[in-house]
Structure 1
Amino acid sequence: MEDGIQNSSFQEPADIKLSPAGLSFLASAAKWANFLAIVCFIFIGISAITMVSLVFGASALSLGADEYVTAGALSTFGVLYLLFLAFFCLPIYYLYNFGSKAKKAIENRDSIQLELCLDALKKHYKFIGIMVIITIAFNFMGLVVGVVLGISDAFAGV
């Protein structure tokens, strides 16, 4: 391992300064982060309005007796989707915080704001990383369940 890099322990650096190119890269990343966060918040808002209308409008649907989807199932799906949207507001909030705090750090040459923006970026990626791990685990469990059910179905058909 290199001399200046430690595992996860914090060592106070002698002095860290960003070059003009580094500040430019940070400013560009902050602009894109704010843009993406705002677009995501708009998408979440539109999706939430759609799901609220589904939840309240599902009872007004007149589905025939032969339909597979009931109004209760649509309402349940709508409520679960609203919870899913609320859950994903957190990483988008962290992304927005990164962008806004990075902009303040650059404008004011404030190292505290720079630390706060990097902390928000760390929280954003930590959240996304945990969600990727959970998604991989669910996919793996689905694969195992599918294989087990396929094998049991093959033996039941013999």
Structure 2
Amino acid sequence: MEVGIQNSSFHEPADIKLSPAGLAFLASAAKWANFLAIVCFIFIGISAITMISLIFGASALSLGQGEYVSAGTISTFGVLYLLFLAFSCLPIYYLYNFGSKARKAIENRDSIQLELCLDALKKHYKFIGIIVIITIAFNFLGLILGIVMGISDAIAAV
């Protein structure tokens, strides 16, 4: 229970135990979490290598005639994409922590590791939730700006 949260209907039990089915569900979730995290880390690594080669290869594009996109634009996009990739490592790291700590908790019957794995899962979903809220806010802002610009365009055309 988080510090500062008080709920009169919640009574903290003296001891929480998981049934064999609950342990099996947790073990399955841990395996899938580790698999997804490793696949995501591999994808991020491949994407980072691609972006780095694009950044350094952008100067070769500037040698051609009649180009529509400058090398500086491609390099800027590549750097921003690398920052995005670095930023996306955090929730994947939390997911990996959940899987590895859950596996240790099950193998050793360790309640402290179980708490740590659940904390990592909480951090993962909290991060994803904040990103969703930010995305919704940007979409709403884009909608408002689109409506305002559409109205101003209609007024200017009159």
Shared fold (TM-score, shorter chain, > 0.5):
yes
Which stretches of structure 1, 4 residues or longer, exceed 6 Å deviation after superposition?
Answer: none
Alignment correspondent of 1:8: 5
Q: Which residues in structure 2 correspond to 1:8-157 (within 5 Å)? A: 8-9=5-6, 12-61=12-61, 62-65=63-66, 67-157=67-157
Question: Aligned AA for 1:43?
Answer: F
Q: What SS does the corresponding residue of 2:5 show, helix, strand or coil?
A: coil
Q: Deviations over 1:28-86 (max 9, x none)?
A: 00000000000100100010001001111111113434x33110000000000000000
* Deviations 1:81-103 (CA, angstroms, capped at 9, x unpaired): 00000000000000000000000
Q: Note the C-alpha offset of 1:119.
A: 0.4
Distance of 2:145 and 2:133 partners within structure 1: 18
Deviates more, 1:147-156 or 1:92-101: 147-156
Measured in 1, the distance between the counterparts of 2:13 and 2:112 equals 14
TM-score by length of 2: 0.91
Q: Structure 1 CA distance, aligned partners of 2:35 and 2:20?
A: 23
Between the aligned partners of 1:42 and 1:8, the Cα distance in structure 2 is: 39
**Alignment length (residue pairs):** 151
Q: Give the match's secondary structure for 1:68.
A: coil
Distance 1:20 1:53 in 2: 50
Q: Over the residues paired in the alignment, what is the CA RMSD in angstroms?
A: 1.5
Q: Structure 2: how far apart are the matches of 1:89 and 1:131?
A: 13
- Percent of residue pairs bearing the same amino acid type: 83
Could you tell me which amino acid in structure 2 is paired with residue 86 of structure 1?
Answer: A
Q: What secondary structure, in the 3-state scheme, does the structure 1 residue paired with 2:144 have?
A: helix
Q: Which runs of 5+ in 2 are unaligned?
A: none
* Separation (CA, whole Å) in 2 of partners of 1:138 and 1:131: 11
Instruction: Give the letter aligned to residue 65 of structure 2.
Output: G
**1:5-34 deviations in Å (ceiling 9; x for gaps):** xx9349643110000000000000000000
